[in-house]
Amino acid sequence: MSTGTAPAAGVRRGEAGRRGGDVRSDLYVAVEAGGAGLEVSLESRVAALYGDSIRETVESTLRGLGVEAARVEVEDAGALPWVIEARVEAAVRAAGLPPAATGEGAPSPSPAAPAPPATARHLLRRSRLYLPGNEPKFMLNAGLHRPDGVILDLEDSVHPDAKPAARLLVRNALRQVDFGGAERMVRINQLPLGLEDLDAVVPERPELILIPKAERPDQVVEVADRIAAILGQAEPGIWLMPILESAVGVENAFAIASASPAVVALTVGLEDYTTDLGVVKTREGLETLWARQRLVNAARAAGVQAIDSVYGDVQDEEGLLAWGHASRAMGFAGMGCVHPRQIRVIHQAFAPTTEEIEKALRIVEAFREAEARGLSVVSLGSKMIDPPVVTRARRLVERARELGLLDGGEE
C-alpha 240/C-alpha 119 separation (Å) is 12
- Full residue range of the structural domain in which residue 324 is found: 127-349
3 state DSSP class of 354: helix
C-alpha 112/C-alpha 173 separation (Å) is 10
Walk across the sheet containing 26-33 and list its strands: 13-17, 26-33, 70-77, 38-44
- pLDDT at position 98 is 66
Which tens digits make up the pLDDT trace of 46-59? 899 999 999 999 99
- The CA distances from residue 97 to 14, 62, 362, in Å, are 9, 10, 69
- pLDDT at position 193 is 97
Phi-psi region for residue 130, left (φ > 0), alpha (ψ -120 to 50) or beta?
beta
Indicate whether 157 belongs to any domain: yes
Indicate whether 359 belongs to any domain: yes
Q: How many domains does the chain have?
A: 3
- pLDDT at position 407 is 72
292 and 307 part of one domain:
yes
- The CA distances from residue 388 to 362, 378, 395, 400, in Å, are 15, 12, 11, 18
**Burial (CB count within 10 angstroms: exposed 0-12, middle 13-18, buried 19+), residue 240:** buried
234 and 326 part of one domain:
yes
Which tens digits make up the pLDDT trace of 316-350? 999 999 999 999 999 999 999 999 999 999 999 99
Indicate whether 224 belongs to any domain: yes
Indicate whether 136 belongs to any domain: yes
Indicate whether 114 belongs to any domain: no
285 and 339 part of one domain:
yes
184 and 327 part of one domain:
yes
CATH number reported for the structural domain that contains residue 249 in this entry: 3.20.20.60
Residues 6+ apart with CB under 8 A from 99: none
Give 95-98 contacts, CB < 8 A, sequence gap 24+. 95/7, 95/12, 95/13, 95/14, 95/31, 95/32, 95/33, 96/6, 96/7, 96/12, 96/14, 97/12, 97/14, 97/31, 97/33, 97/67, 97/70, 98/65, 98/66, 98/67
49 and 87 part of one domain:
yes
- pLDDT at position 382 is 66
Residues of the chain with pLDDT under 50: 1-8, 11, 100-109, 113-114
368 and 303 part of one domain:
no
372 and 305 part of one domain:
no
Compute the mean pLDDT over every residue in the chain, rounded to the nearest whole number.
Answer: 89
318 and 277 part of one domain:
yes
pTM: 0.85
Asked if residue 110 lies in contact with residue 82, where contact means CB atoms within 8 angstroms, the answer is yes
Indicate whether 2 belongs to any domain: no
